[in-house]
Amino acid sequence: MASIVISKAKIDLLNARLRALGIDESELKETFVRGSGPGGQKINKTSVCVQLVHSPSGFQIQCQKTRSQALNRYYAKLALCEELESRNSNEKSKKQQEREKVKRQKRKRSKRAKEKVLANKKETSKKKETRKKPELD
């Protein structure tokens, strides 16, 4: 299997983000746990799942995107940066926006909205009714 290497530029960029947020490598506690989920024996035998704990903030992040421990470490640190940035900026993160969007989509429609949809359906059916071919006797 070919080794997966993260480019130096990406690592430097990540380290710069960590420094900008005031995170020191010594504040991060990194543990590697066995993965779970689809993948069979290989995923259950190897400890590629990375668990990052940032002690000052109390954030705990687990990452098991790939089967590479090095890549998972990178993604976990990236996720930690995104989480802390979203918390600091009071902006809603992309994940949170997606969750809220799904929640809105699943929400029950109001009575008025239902009536509008049904009225629109009735109009459409009337239009289609006029498009029918005339019956020949």
Mapped to the 3 state alphabet, what secondary structure does 40-103 carry?
CHHHHHCCCEEEEEECCCCEEEEECCCCCHHHHHHHHHHHHHHHHHHHHHCCCCHHHHHHHHHH
Please write the tens of the pLDDT for every residue from 23-68.
Answer: 888 889 998 888 777 767 777 778 888 999 988 888 899 998 888 8
Where exactly are the structural domains of the chain? Answer: 8-91, 96-129
pLDDT confidence tier of residue 121, bands split at 50, 70 and 90: very high
Hey, what CATH topology would domain 8-91 get? Answer: Double Stranded RNA Binding Domain (3.30.160)
Q: Assess whether pLDDT exceeds 70 at residue 2.
A: no
The per-residue pLDDT for 91 is: 66
Q: What's the pLDDT at 3?
A: 58
At 69 the pLDDT is 87
pLDDT (average), residues 84-91: 76
What pTM value is reported for the model? 0.63
* Model pLDDT, residue 1: 46
